[in-house]
């Protein structure tokens, strides 16, 4: 069922989105380890996860926000090059996408949307996954392609969750993924905002 005419949606035009993922080089874009892949079988505990209904494709309007989501566990600590690599040989990489203008996102940063659904901002930002997952499932069942909300790490950032199987044909990968390093501008910005110290950069 598509959203009713009374539902508030954001119709995007040339929207740039960013995602950090564990990249196995030379992997197909939509295959395991690729920038368009969602490891659905490992989902279930995330903010908008509902693996029995869809794969949740998490991304951001800001590259620094995408990186911040990936390194936030290091707040108050030091980030080193080892934190950007995994034992299986994959590396943390930043990818950029264009979202088709036909995509319909439920904008949970719009006061009118919240009022029409009797939602409080705290319901969007809560850490209670029962609440946030229920919001996402409702949007999915109403026919939206995803939803957007402000980052709980920095309200100036806008994040998005896309329903993977529904949105895949509306996403276009722009360029090759960029492996993160300790001098990647988006990483430096994200670490600064989160209070993460960056260790010395060493060439490998």
Mean pLDDT of 136-142: 97
Name residue, tokens 């949740």. 56
Q: Report the DSSP pairing between strands 91-99 and 171-173.
A: antiparallel
- 14 pLDDT tier (thresholds 50, 70, 90): low
The residues near 182 (Cβ < 8 Å, ≥ 6 apart) are: 79, 80, 81, 84, 188, 198, 199, 200, 201
Q: Which residue ranges make up each domain of the chain?
A: 10-196
Spatial distance between the Cα atoms of 79 and 192, rounded to a whole number of angstroms: 11
3-state class (DSSP) for residue 200: coil
pLDDT at 89 over 90: no
Across the chain, how many H-helices and E-strands are there? 6, 11
- 145 pLDDT tier (thresholds 50, 70, 90): very high
Q: Which of the two residues, 11 and 58, has the higher pLDDT score?
A: 58
- Contact status, residue 183 vs residue 84, Cβ threshold 8 Å: no
The model carries a pTM of: 0.86
Question: What's the confidence (pLDDT) of residue 4?
Answer: 47
Pick the CATH number of 10-196 from 3.30.70, 3.90.1200, 3.90.175, 4.10.860: 3.90.175
Phi first, then psi, for residue 83 (nearest 5°) are -70, -15
Of 149, 171, 170, 144, nearest to 160 by C-alpha is: 149
In this predicted model, what pLDDT tens digit does every residue of 27-67 receive, in sequence order?
A: 555 556 689 989 899 999 999 999 999 999 999 999 999 99
């Amino acid at each position: 069922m598509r959203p009713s005419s009374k539902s508030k949606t954001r119709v995007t035009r040339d929207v740039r989105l960013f995602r950090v993922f564990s990249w196995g080089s030379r992997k197909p874009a939509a295959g395991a380890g690729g920038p368009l892949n969602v490891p659905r079988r490992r989902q279930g505990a995330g903010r908008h996860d509902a693996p029995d209904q869809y794969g949740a494709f998490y991304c951001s309007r800001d590259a620094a926000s995408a990186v911040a989501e990936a390194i936030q566990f290091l707040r108050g600590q030091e980030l080193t090059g080892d934190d950007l690599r995994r034992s299986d040989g994959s590396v943390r990489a930043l990818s950029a996408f264009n979202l088709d203008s036909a995509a319909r996102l439920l904008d949970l940063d719009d006061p009118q949307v919240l009022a029409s659904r009797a939602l409080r901002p705290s319901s969007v930002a809560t850490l209670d996954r029962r609440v946030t997952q229920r919001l996402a499932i409702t949007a999915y069942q109403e026919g939206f392609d995803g939803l957007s909300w402000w980052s709980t790490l920095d309200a100036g950032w806008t994040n998005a969750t896309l329903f993977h199987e529904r949105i895949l044909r509306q996403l276009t990968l722009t360029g090759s993924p960029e492996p993160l390093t300790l001098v990647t501008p988006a990483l430096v910005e994200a670490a600064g905002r989160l209070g993460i110290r960056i260790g010395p950069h060493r060439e490998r």
